[in-house]
Amino acid sequence: MSDILLILITAIVALAVGVYIGRLLLQKVYKQQEVAARQKAKAIIREAEINAEAIKKDRMLEAKEKFLKLRSEFEEESNKKKNIIIQNENKVKQREQHVTKQMEDNKRRENELNKEKEALNLQLEHLHKRKEEVENQHKEVVAQLEKIAGLTASEAREQLVDALKSEATTQASSHIKDIVAQAKLTATKEAKKIVIETIQRTAAEHAIENCVSVFNIESDDIKGKIIGREGRNIRALEAATGVEIIVDDTPEAIIISGFDPVRREIARLSLHRLVADGRIHPARIEEVVTKTRKNIEEEIIEIGERTAIDLGIHGLHPELIKMVGRMRFRSSYGQNLLQHSREVANLCATMAAELGLNVKHAKRAGLLHDIGKVTPDEPELPHAIIGMELAKKYKEHPDICNAIGAHHDEIEMTAMISPLIQACDAISGSRPGARREIMESYIKRLKDLEAAAISFEGVNQCYAIQAGRELRIMVDADNVTDEKAAQLSFDISQKIEKEMQYPGQIKITVIREMRAISYAK
């Protein structure tokens, strides 16, 4: 029992001693850690102070550099302005010196002129005296002649004039009769000879423009892609190009219908690119049609330049060259307008050479005589007058302007080449099969349809399709509501009924498309 107590006491004492020793050790460890932490904190503070000092120096250097740079720029700008001011002052001084010199010269010249004026006055006085002497002598001579002849001067003058007039009238009448007789014998023969030789020496092709183009495809499977889901692709293509796309049972072919050859060509090329690319959807269709329209505009300029080069015509204004290119896609009574104008130019050049006139002016006027038919706005004026105004606007020769304006007798012919243009225009158009008047009146009716619809407010685009049996009108969705679209369709139909004549009936379709566009950035 005493041993157990002793062990317990020993254990308790040992435990107390251990706890105490452990506590001392912990305090020592904590103290060491505190010292280390303080040293580390001092090191961090010292390092931070060093970094701050370095950053401060860098910022000061940057500020100094920026200040020096701004100072140099300011000094440079100040020097430039100072130099400009000095130059202006020098110019002003030079101008003042020049003005002063001019004033001195003017003053000297004025003195010289005054001296010359005085000398002239003396000469005039002398001439007046001399004139009076001559008149007195003339009166004396006339009085002596009147006494000798027994007639006054006025009576003698009248008798002489009557005698000369009678003799001149007799000779002139004789010459006129001879000239008229000779002209009657040779004029008709020479005119026919020149016209026949001109036609024989000029060979031109004739292209009859139709209202239908055919787009060939390799497989009928492509038709489904072109039509699209619920017809959205074909509707987008028709809306973008303004033509009618006919996809029927015709094997491996799609029909493009429209009276405007430019629209048909844009639709045909756009279809070709879409089919070759394989991606056919409304957004892609609009993108391709926009690119194709731009390419067609470039092609029009190229056609105009090539035509001018082929005919040897130089110095045409770029706008006139563009209009010449647009003739390629325009028909006149079914005759291709560019081919017709080229033929007239060649005919005029040949006739002018035969008659000894200006060949270059004749050829230039022949090419431009129908330029008024391809103006974009097409005002209510004869195309000859429009063409003449365009030629004047772009600084063409007055003879060329007169020939253009007078080739349908809208104005008087004052240039020698004007009758040639009129004759060659008639020769080119009167060949069998060259023109079809029905086609021209048909196209004019379609254009009048589009013009009647486009005149209403809110209409963006208008296309006559289905051979003029349908009018499709695209309106601005922001300005035209659904109710207003219905009213607009009715108003356009009423205007067409009152102002136009047409067979059957015309369907007016107003399309109001709302688009919401946003961009993911």
- The pLDDT score that the predictor gives to residue 437 is 43
Percentage of the chain beyond pLDDT 90 is: 0
HEC profile for 36-103?
HHHHHHHHHHHHHHHHHHHHHHHHHHHHHHHHHHHHHHHHHHHHHHHHHHHHHHHHHHHHHHHHHHHH
Question: Per-residue pLDDT averaged across 13-24, rounded?
Answer: 83
What does the block give as tokens for 493? 């139909």
State the architecture of 446-521 in CATH terms. Answer: 2-Layer Sandwich (3.30)
Helix (H/G/I), strand (E/B), else coil: 488: helix
* Between 200 and 212, residue with greater pLDDT: 212
Could you write out the DSSP letters of every residue in 313-364?
A: -----HHHHHHHHHGGG-EETTEEHHHHHHHHHHHHHHHHHHHT--HHHHHH
Q: Look at residue 244 in the predicted model and tell me its pLDDT.
A: 83
The answer to whether 242 and 461 are in contact (CB under 8 A) is yes
pLDDT digits (tens, 9 = 90+) for 348-394: 888 888 888 888 888 888 888 888 888 766 567 788 888 888 888 88
Could you tell me the residue ranges of all domains in the chain?
Answer: 1-114, 206-311, 312-435, 446-521
In whole angstroms, give the CA distance from residue 198 to residue 423. Answer: 11
Question: pLDDT by residue (tens digit) across 384-423?
Answer: 888 888 888 888 888 889 988 888 888 888 888 888 888 8
pLDDT higher than threshold 50 for residue 112: yes
pLDDT of residue 156: 64
The whole-number pLDDT of residue 194 equals 60
Using the CB atoms, write b or e for 303-334: b if 16+ within 10 Å: bbbebbeebebeebeeebbbbbbbbbbbbbbb
> Above 50 in pLDDT, residue 432?
no
Q: Which CATH class is domain 312-435?
A: mainly alpha
Per-residue pLDDT at 162: 72
Q: Do 312-435 and 206-311 fall under one CATH topology? A: no
Report the amino acid identity of residue 148: I
Q: What is the mean pLDDT of residues 473-486?
A: 85
Cβ neighbours of residue 459 closer than 8 Å, sequence gap 6 or more: 453, 473, 474, 475, 476, 488
pLDDT over 60 (residue 197): no
pLDDT of 433: 45
53 pLDDT more than 50 = yes
Report the distance separating Cα 258 and Cα 263, nearest Å. 7
| Choice between 105 and 221, residue whose per-residue pLDDT is larger | 105
What is the rounded average pLDDT for all residues in the chain? 79
Residue 153 has pLDDT above 80, yes or no: no
| Mean pLDDT, residues 302-319 taken together | 87
What's the pLDDT band for 196 if we cut at 50, 70, 90? low
pLDDT tens string 323-339:
888 888 777 666 778 88
Rounded mean pLDDT of 419-430? 80
**Neighbour tally for 113: CB within 10 Å:** 12
The pTM is what?
Answer: 0.46
pLDDT of residue 202: 53
What average pLDDT does this structure show over 497-521? 79
pLDDT at residue 160, as a whole number: 63
Stretch 45-49: mean pLDDT, rounded?
86
Strands of 470-475's sheet, edge to edge?
459-465, 470-475, 507-512
Check if CATH label 3.30.1370.10 holds for domain 206-311.
Answer: yes
Take residue 369 and report the two structure tokens written for it: 């005589």
Amino acid making up residue 256: I
List C-alpha distances in Å: 328 to 142, 208, 325, 345. 78, 12, 6, 15
pLDDT at res. 178: 67
pLDDT confidence of residue 436: 47
pLDDT at 23 > cutoff 60:
yes
pLDDT at 212: 67
For residue 207, what pLDDT is reported?
42
Separation CA 245–CA 227 (nearest Å): 9
Average pLDDT over residues 95-118: 85
Lowest mean pLDDT among 136-145, 262-271, 337-346, 463-472: 136-145
Q: How far is CA 78 from CA 92, 115, 147, in A?
A: 21, 55, 98
Supply the pLDDT for residue 64. Answer: 86
The pLDDT, as a whole number, for residue 203 is 46
Whether 287 has a pLDDT exceeding 50, the answer reads yes
How far apart CA 462 and CA 469 sit, in angstroms, is 14
Distance CA 269, CA 413 (A): 44
Q: Please tell me the distance from the alpha carbon of residue 94 to that of residue 100, in angstroms, as a whole number.
A: 10
